[in-house]
């Protein structure tokens, strides 16, 4: 039985099939300068895209962080790049995701403690090791109605993605295990 047959059997209405909207990879090093540059280089090597800098919202004296100081970098992936990165990221966590990692809208967030756990990544002593948070935004076709500029409206409650729908989609798509 081909994958198209399975998809058609599971989702009779193509508008109900979930999809990956985006994957956001965040690495917060807590300091500007050399550690942030190293984290940006690592993220660029992992994703093939240039990271965007994020600044501190407020001063935290205990951590030595000043307001508007660059402390993190973020990359947003969409489409095939997002799927390819997710396959590798799930392998880094042994294809196991906690049920508590899903929010009420079916989105998923998890962390990777060391970037060298991701398959295909080599350790570079000059760059060191960083951790990262990965957020996966799932949606169904038709969610554009809440983001568009003209005639903006709400997505109906029947059409919203539930955590159970998201879990079953990720099990089918990536073969992950929900713990």
DSSP per position, 1-46? --HHHHHHHH-SSGGGS-EEEEEEEEEE-SS-SHHHHHHHHHHHHH
Q: So what's the pLDDT on residue 171? A: 92
User: Is the residue at 10 inside a domain?
Assistant: no
* In a domain? residue 4: no
DSSP 169: H
Distance CA 56, CA 41 (A): 20
Domain that holds residue 85: 17-178
> Residue 179: its pLDDT value, please?
87
Cα–Cα distance between 169 and 90 in angstroms, integer?
14
Has residue 58 been placed in a domain?
A: yes
User: Is 8 contained in some domain?
Assistant: no
CATH number of the domain at 82, please. 3.30.1440.10
51 part of a folded domain: yes
Q: Is the pTM of this model over 0.75?
A: yes
User: What average pLDDT does the chain have?
Assistant: 89
**Residue 88 maps to a domain:** yes
pLDDT of residue 3: 47
Quote helix, strand, coil % in the chain, to nearest 5: 35, 25, 40
142-178 per-position pLDDT tens digit:
999 999 999 999 999 889 999 999 999 999 989 989 9
pLDDT of residue 9: 46
Domain count, the chain: 1
Secondary structure letter of residue 173 according to DSSP: H
In a domain, 26, yes or no: yes
Q: Could you tell me if residue 60 is inside a domain?
A: yes
């Amino acid at each position: 039985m081909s994958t198209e047959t399975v998809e058609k059997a599971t989702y009779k209405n193509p508008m109900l099939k979930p999809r990956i909207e985006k994957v956001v990879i965040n690495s917060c090093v807590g300091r500007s300068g050399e550690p942030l540059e190293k984290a940006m280089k690592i993220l660029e090597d992992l994703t093939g895209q240039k990271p965007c800098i994020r600044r501190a919202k407020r001063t935290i004296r205990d951590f030595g962080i000043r307001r508007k100081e660059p402390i993190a970098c973020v990359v947003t992936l969409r489409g095939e790049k997002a799927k390819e990165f997710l396959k590798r990221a799930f392998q880094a966590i042994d294809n196991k995701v906690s049920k508590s990692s899903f929010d009420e809208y079916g989105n998923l967030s998890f962390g990777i403690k060391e970037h060298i756990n991701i398959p295909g990544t080599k350790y570079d002593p000059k760059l060191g090791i960083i951790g990262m948070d990965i957020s996966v935004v799932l949606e169904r076709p038709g969610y554009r109605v809440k983001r568009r500029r003209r005639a903006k409206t709400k997505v109906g409650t029947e059409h919203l993605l539930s955590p159970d729908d998201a879990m079953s989609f990720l099990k089918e798509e990536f073969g992950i295990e929900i713990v």
